[in-house]
Amino acid sequence: MSSPLIDQLIEHHGYPLVTTDNLEGFLQRETTQVLFFSGDPKRYPEANDVAVILPELVRAFPARFKPVVVDRSVEEVLKHRYDIHVWPSLVFLRDGRFLGKISKVRDWSEYMQRIPEILNAEPRHNPGVGIPLVNEPLEQAHA
């Protein structure tokens, strides 16, 4: 289930919707994208706030990234890939590679600080993929 504010991103603003049918194509695009993971707006009402904020972020950072709405049916597949535990979330990708994420609603100043940091970062492995490395203290490693 979506909400009128989230639907407006697609219908009024023309943001593409990632579905199971076009998922791989979106993840392989050679551009910078922000994927909007809303979760269930009834359970996470902040999703509606982010649906209002996202077009403002697009205007604040012209031509820096392309917004994409993630269909709820695909969120379950992608939440593990991008290590999403908090809804709503904005996940930034460049050429299909992870740059960073912002979860929940933030103060405008926080978006203005955090988004340039994310956009200037080097792409890295998806946070939910692979085996995490744990650095043990040297004395424990040889015990």
Say which CATH number the domain at 90 has: 3.40.30.10
Q: What proportion of the chain, given as a percentage, has pLDDT over 90? A: 81
**What confidence score (pLDDT) does residue 130 get?**
54
Total structural domains within the chain? 1
Has residue 135 got a pLDDT over 80? no
Tokens of 95: 């050429």
Tokens of 65: 């990234």
Has residue 131 got a pLDDT over 70? no
Put the strands of the sheet holding 66-70 in their side by side order: 17-18, 66-70, 32-37, 89-94, 97-103
Domain range for 48: 4-141
Q: Band of the pLDDT at 1, cuts 50, 70, 90?
A: low
Query: pTM of the full predicted structure?
Result: 0.88
What is the pLDDT averaged over residues 70-81? 93
Of 92, 71, 55, nearest in space to 22 by CA: 71
Strand partners, 103: 89
Distance CA 86, CA 103 (A): 6
